[in-house]
Structure 1
Amino acid sequence: MPKLFDLLSESNKKELLSEARKPLTSKSSKKGHSKNKTDHKNDTAVSLNVPDFIAFDLETTGLDFRNDRVIEIGAIRFIKGKPEDEFSTFINPGRPVPPVITDLTGISDKELISAPAFPEVAEKLLQFIGDLPLCGHQVEFDATFLSEELKRAGHPAFSGQLIDTALLSRILLQGSTRFSLKAVSEYLQINLDNAHRALFDAMASGEVAVRLIKRISGLPMHIRQTIAACAPGSLFKSLMIQSLNGNRAQVLLQLNKTENPGTRLQEPESYLPIDKNSVGELFSDNGKLKLAVEGFTPRQSQTDMALQVVDTLNTSSILIAEAGTGTGKSLAYLLPSSQWAITNNCRVLVCTRTKNLQDQLLVKDLPLVKKILGEKLRYTVLKGRNNYICINRWEKLLRGEIGNISPRERFAILPLIPWVEKTRTGDIEEQNQFNPKWFSRIWNLVSAESYECQGRRCSCFQNCFFQKARQQALSSNIVIINHALFFSEICSESSFLGKIGTIIFDEAHHLESCGHRYLRVELDTARINLFLDQINNLVLKTGELKAEENIYGHGKELRNILRHMRKSSQKFLEELGSWAEKKAGSSEYQISYHENELDSLIEPAALGTDI
């Protein structure tokens, strides 16, 4: 595949090179978030002209561009934002259409048997496209399939520019929760009657592109500057630069300071009991629960469980309860435990296994409990460090100070730029524009993991999402956590929660398996590579340590050692697996390990101990 820069027109190449050579206009841009200042020549919004393009979509026999084939082509030429001409045809793939594809598209072998093969329409299609960019939803997929079909037909691969409406929607439609073409079309009130048919999808993606390109200038100037600075060379980057109206593309963050979370709650030396009868009345036929919930019917099993929870709290004892479906166990423990936490001005932890239950408690159940018990109740959710974005590391990534990220990864992080400024939690799970599992390497570079955390010394400490979540947890009556965080805390040398006090385990039947998972140590290629990436970031900083001669002079040697470690890591894991299997005598094993037993797998230190 060609480099993205090579796909640009000569005029766009010159524009990007000229932009890159401009000097910085303000020293404050180095830490744009610290003073919340920007350097704008002209904040006037520029009305972008929508470039001419070919709205393009393919239907295929599957997702593998090497082995699957195109079965339908839809292309529409948009000139000055309006559809002017179209190209549409079935393609005989020379193989049966899988039933799952027929179910999805409605295209069967019957429609394709008399259709032309791709080589028969290739020349006509290329003439229709001309030198215009292709526009589509996840257009890289269509462009890759097109390139493979062209090469099989004896033509060069497609090398034109691309406009991806999926990327545009993730950046510009931050209020949406889904970003499929159908969902985006519905959000923008664009008609898409026959989804998964090439011409209809092409028309919808073309109309989406026209709408969204016009919205680019509506983004705040500093966000456009940051996106323009971070985007890889592409038509999208060119559009972002055009929207700047002469301002420089540079990383500028403007973050709101976190709010005061409130007074930290302390566990009292002794607890005040709560009245069992008053809790029971909440669940009665005339109780507050029935007044608050339309259609509520008292259930004796729910009331019995709530009263047992009261007894357990009042006597500081242990309760194990198994509640069947329909019992209403969440409210059975939330109402008495919330009342108890308010009465004693203390904290109760509710520990769950699944995100779905966390969301139910936070969005549905606890607001209801607060409505019944009053505004004094404070509650929050606390997750592990890896769920929160670190502002310091995020800014370093945008400035290119950490990581070496590919164009694909650069496009992936762009929707996070406006999200980071709007989010009040920094919890990556609250957004749907960036998938941390698909881009785990990038997320590991910017999440709030502890190994690089500077604590109060960090310049971003006042804006730290993780610290804010911690402080809110310390000042809340009900704190929702998951089993993984619980085990992480009990393994920590100094838990920030201090004395935990009362804790409720929901989904407790998963505790054993979850504990086994989080109390063990795992080693695999991904973890080794992550560790080496962290070391590499430190090695890159040796260039700044000219005063430290014993370190500065070893930069090249350290990089060579890192390359050797990357090559050797897989071999090490293979030898470790062979050693374990030989010791256990099977591929399923749990074995004992004695000190110095793995010395044969360890290489001598590459550098002296004076570094």
Structure 2
Amino acid sequence: MNKLFDFVALDIETTGFDFQNDEIIEIGAVKYKEGSASEQFSVFIKPEKEVPLFIKQLTHITDEQLAGGEKIRDALKSLRNFIGDKILVCHNASFDIGFLNVKLQDCDLPRISNRIFDTLEISKIYLPFVFNHKLGTVAKFFELNLENAHRAIYDAEVTGKILINLLKFIEENIPLKLNYHILEIARYIQPDTDLLFFLEKILEHQKKYAILSKSSPKIDPFRNNYIEHSVENPRELTIEEIFGTKGVFAEKFENYELREGQLQMAEAVLRNFESDEFLLAEAGTGVGKSFAYLIPAIIHTNKTQSRVVISTNTKNLQEQLFFKDLPTVKQCLNLPFKATLLKGRRNYICEKKWQESSLDFDKSFTPFEARHFIYLPVWKEFTKTGDISENTSFNLKFAGNTWKKLAAERHFCLGRKCAYFSRCSLMNVRQKAENSNLVIINHHLLLADMISDNSVLGEYEHLIIDEAHNLPHIAPAELGLSLGFNDFNNFFSQLFSVRGKYQSGILPNLKTAAVKSMIDDSRKKRLISLAEETINFIESEKNIFEEFFLNVGEEVEKKGKYGKLRVKREEDFPFLSKFLAEIIKFLEELSRLAVQIMNELSEIKSSHFFDYAVHTDNIDGVIKRIAEFYDGVTTLYNPDLQQNAYWLENFKTGNEKYPNGILNYAPLNINELMNELLYSKVKSIVFTSATVAIRGKFKYFASRMGLDLLENGKVRELIVPSPFDYQKQARVIVGGFLPDPKDKYFPSQSLKLIKKAIEISQVGTMVLFTSYKDLNYIYDELKEPFYHQEILLLCQGKGISRSALLSEFREHRESVLLGTNSFWEGIDVPGESLSLLILNKLPFMVPSEPIVEAYLEKLQAEGKDSFLHYMLPTALLRYRQGFGRLIRNKNDKGIVLVLDRRIATKFYGKYFIETVPAKTVIHETPIEIYDYLGKWFKGF
């Protein structure tokens, strides 16, 4: 099949992404005939404007090469002659062809109208398991050499090879039936496209040579979510025998170094399990805390046959534990264990929904939704878990509506009654989790399980919460409620939807089943009539939801700040109570109709009604979902504003008429809820993080989490310091001479210091901000001078993903990265790529943030100093997290430069100084700082 097409592979290099204002600087094209390269076309184009430094560094194209380049019109004419009417192959064709067509039009030359195959699109359909679908990643998957990446001629050649390898991959791994399914989806999305032509030719080839095709795929691309470690002769070991200098780890790993802190923490965790206590354990960077709790967990579960649940905040740590750390433990430890990686219900595909939508996808999805649906068939064919997060082609941010129609959900799950139960991804992983010693989850699932009476995790005795410092911020939202137009609209779509001449959903399906049933005519008529009455009621009244959430969005737009608006007094928002009262009436009537339908069904013999259990369970799910909505809406109609934060929110959609408002409601105190829903149900908990204590005390965290309400002696504390020598490896220097951050001159003065510090240091630098406003100001002022100085400036929020920014930052050792909130933690950049960390301001919470503002008012009403009880502790923890980005191993060295003079001038400044392990030096002139930086980084 790899000789199926003759084509020209094409790539361009440009000075940016703007078709109108940026320029093409290189074009490369390679002709492929019968699967091999036969002829090349390569040309540099002389630009009219200066080429950005970043592009020069990316492409390695020199000014000399461009100076000798052709004029754009001549180059484009030559290209058109070279490609003729051949099929063109590009990686991200919409960019290459779009850019070329704009420039062709500018030069009064005909636009490209050839057939175009996009290897980006094709790879997303057929390779949903690669890390991403960049040219280099796909090339690496096919083991293709990409040494000269971002040069047009080399990228064009690799693009051609990728297509050839894709054809071979499809032939060897994708069954004809699966390809036919993909073809039908593509035809529904848009008939007569180049992708459709590509798929049709593949299918023709497969049909012609079906007898010769491979019987089974060669690939096994997805990982499992279950580890089973069986041991014939288990051997009990002490913590010392595992972590000690003569222990198992020392035997298994060369250059193993004993970490006293790791051993100390492991012993404390094991003791905690054995004594049924709660442990607050802070483990500094480099301690190795994940092994310090995984090993004791496995030892204890083997002794007691109990279960340990481990919860993390981030997906990165969750996957590190399961796919990296546990396999290492498995390799070293002669103890059996079973472990499961478990996520929330909506991460898993519903087999019933998949089968039904695959048969009638044109009834289930709009053509726009089907654009995302086409990335699912190959993933579904090979997945072992049904977890959509492993499908790198499917972007949940943009494909949310598509996924909602396929994801497992609580109220409409038939459980063991489902015809597809044996193939259910969710039930499969939950059964594994039930039988596992270790279950790895995230905080969101932990909290969701708490409020659903352990319906997900079942009973367990021991819990480890890593990244525990995030829990006080996550818990209120998870334990509260949020309602928007999509919540109701998606529910109504499940009940009833029309796609062209087709009706689908729970109620039309019920009508169809009633017509075909063997029940008596009078009952049949009543059932059909009730279903139609319910449909008509929804259709006639549901516009209230659109109107309401449109009003909510508009109210936020007019009166809110940063897309949020707090409800402090109900009388300030009369439209809320008006609409909510109407919605309550709507839900009461809808519930009455659903109950009537259920009553009719309950009078029917199951043998007289096809799929009787399915229909009764669906209506039961409808009743429960209505009740859930009713509880939420009545809570918002009668809010307790003393104990909860209530705020309106909107999100940008690009459509002013879209009902984009959201209602949010969250408890201000979670301590009693945590006691009631979690602490009273488990024997032991380990709370751990690198930053959970403040100045050596756990008082703030314990108070926020309700641990101070437990009996004396129940909670133990442990601080394990980092093994790094911060006095030698790091310094914190403070610009005590700068204006106060609230001063109007602070932005310009901080800019001068940032610029000069970077120019003097000439090392990898990260600048952390507390707001996008400050970040954008600094970026706008630095981009031009740094361009001329050939300093690579990277910035969050400029169309480049977080992971891509970090990748570039690590690769270019003297680059500068500007980041805000998400870069203050969870960023690991060891080595010289990060040697200077600049903190623009101390990381205090925004006091106008609705839930923060409400909590501050509550503290004040209780006679407490809200600054000392909340604003300062959260800032100190955040400051420690920011500081922690700098030193990631024992060889790192660097400086943290703080531009916030409040460390030197305010009473609380000493707390920031004391909360980090490195020496803090306050300077009173910029010259002192420049001199200090110059001496520190001399010889770097």
Q: Which AA in structure 1 matches 2:365?
A: N
Give 1:95 deviation, angstroms: 3.4
Confirm or deny: 8 A CA contact 2:311 2:465 kept in the other structure.
yes
What is the match of residue 323 of structure 1?
A: 283
Give 1:309 deviation, angstroms: 2.1
Return the match for 2:577 from 562, 584, 599.
599
Q: Which AA in structure 2 matches 1:572?
A: N
2:381, 2:421 → 1: CA distance?
A: 16
What is the match of residue 31 of structure 2?
A: 77
Change (3 A) 1:425 1:592: farther
What is the match of residue 482 of structure 2?
A: 522
Return the match for 1:571 from 541, 547, 550.
550
What is the match of residue 65 of structure 1?
A: 19
Q: What SS is found at the alignment partner of 2:206?
A: coil
Max radius of gyration: which structure?
2
1:471, 1:572 → 2: CA distance?
A: 45
Matched, 1:182 2:136: yes
Change (3 A) 1:187 1:424: closer
Matched, 1:337 2:316: no
What is the match of residue 430 of structure 2?
A: 470
Structure 1 gap segments, 5+ residues each: 1-46, 249-253, 264-274
Matched, 1:404 2:365: yes
Give 1:482 deviation, angstroms: 0.9
1:446, 1:354 → 2: CA distance?
A: 24
What are the equivalent positions in structure 2 for 1:177-576 lying under 5 Å apart? Answer: 177-218=131-172, 219-232=174-187, 233=191, 234-245=196-207, 278-371=238-331, 373-399=333-359, 400=361, 403-406=364-367, 410=370, 412-493=372-453, 495-523=455-483, 534=494, 537=497, 540-541=504-505, 544=509, 545=511, 547=515, 548-549=528-529, 551-552=531-532, 568=547, 571-576=550-555
Change (3 A) 1:503 1:187: closer
2:398, 2:4 → 1: CA distance?
A: 31
Confirm or deny: 8 A CA contact 2:129 2:392 kept in the other structure.
no
Q: What SS is found at the alignment partner of 2:327?
A: helix
2:76, 2:474 → 1: CA distance?
A: 55
What is the match of residue 616 of structure 2?
A: none
Confirm or deny: 8 A CA contact 1:96 1:109 kept in the other structure.
no
Confirm or deny: 8 A CA contact 1:177 1:431 kept in the other structure.
no
Identity %: 31
1:596, 1:419 → 2: CA distance?
A: 49
Return the match for 1:131 from 62, 69, 85.
85
1:228, 1:336 → 2: CA distance?
A: 52
Change (3 A) 1:310 1:603: closer
Confirm or deny: 8 A CA contact 1:217 1:243 kept in the other structure.
no
Q: Which AA in structure 2 matches 1:591?
A: K
Q: Which AA in structure 2 matches 1:335?
A: I
Confirm or deny: 8 A CA contact 2:29 2:153 kept in the other structure.
yes
Give 1:570 deviation, angstroms: 6.1
1:557, 1:198 → 2: CA distance?
A: 60
Give 1:299 deviation, angstroms: 3.2
Change (3 A) 1:299 1:120: closer
2:310, 2:366 → 1: CA distance?
A: 39
Deviates more, 1:325-334 or 1:91-100: 91-100
Change (3 A) 1:597 1:212: closer
Change (3 A) 1:314 1:323: same
Confirm or deny: 8 A CA contact 1:383 1:485 kept in the other structure.
yes
Change (3 A) 1:529 1:173: same
Q: What SS is found at the alignment partner of 1:320?
A: strand
Q: 1:135-158 deviations in whole A, cap 9, x for unaligned?
A: 011223212223333344445654
Structure 2 gap segments, 5+ residues each: 211-216, 229-234, 516-527, 594-940
Q: Cα RMSD (Å) of the superposition?
A: 4.0
Q: 1:227-263 deviations in whole A, cap 9, x for unaligned?
A: 2332344222222321331699xxxxx9x9xx9x999
1:190, 1:310 → 2: CA distance?
A: 48
Q: What TM-score do you get using the length of structure 1 for normalisation?
A: 0.76
1:451, 1:154 → 2: CA distance?
A: 60
Give 1:439 deviation, angstroms: 3.1
1:94, 1:601 → 2: CA distance?
A: 59
Q: What SS is found at the alignment partner of 1:418?
A: helix
Confirm or deny: 8 A CA contact 1:299 1:327 kept in the other structure.
yes
Q: Which AA in structure 2 matches 1:540?
A: S
Structure number with higher relative contact order (C-alpha < 8 Å, ≥ 6 residues apart): 1
Confirm or deny: 8 A CA contact 1:353 1:506 kept in the other structure.
yes
Give 1:319 deviation, angstroms: 1.1
Deviates more, 1:333-342 or 1:423-432: 423-432
Confirm or deny: 8 A CA contact 1:536 1:559 kept in the other structure.
no
Q: Which AA in structure 2 matches 1:83?
A: A
Change (3 A) 1:524 1:115: farther
Give 1:568 deviation, angstroms: 4.0
Q: What TM-score do you get using the length of structure 2 for normalisation?
A: 0.51
Give 1:565 deviation, angstroms: 6.8
Q: What SS is found at the alignment partner of 2:386?
A: coil
Give 1:115 deviation, angstroms: 4.6
Q: 1:191-237 deviations in whole A, cap 9, x for unaligned?
A: 44422122221122112222322443222233223223323442222
Q: What SS is found at the alignment partner of 2:287?
A: coil
Higher strand share: 2
Give 1:476 deviation, angstroms: 0.7
Give 1:493 deviation, angstroms: 4.8
Q: Which AA in structure 1 matches 2:185?
A: C
Give 1:483 deviation, angstroms: 0.7
Give 1:488 deviation, angstroms: 0.8
Q: What SS is found at the alignment partner of 1:450?
A: coil
Change (3 A) 1:527 1:130: farther
Give 1:353 deviation, angstroms: 1.2
Change (3 A) 1:175 1:443: closer
Give 1:487 deviation, angstroms: 0.8
2:5, 2:540 → 1: CA distance?
A: 47
Change (3 A) 1:127 1:292: closer
Change (3 A) 1:390 1:242: same
1:155, 1:406 → 2: CA distance?
A: 34
Q: 1:265-306 deviations in whole A, cap 9, x for unaligned?
A: xxxxxxxxxx99934443333333433444333333223222
What is the match of residue 106 of structure 1?
A: 60
1:276, 1:353 → 2: CA distance?
A: 31
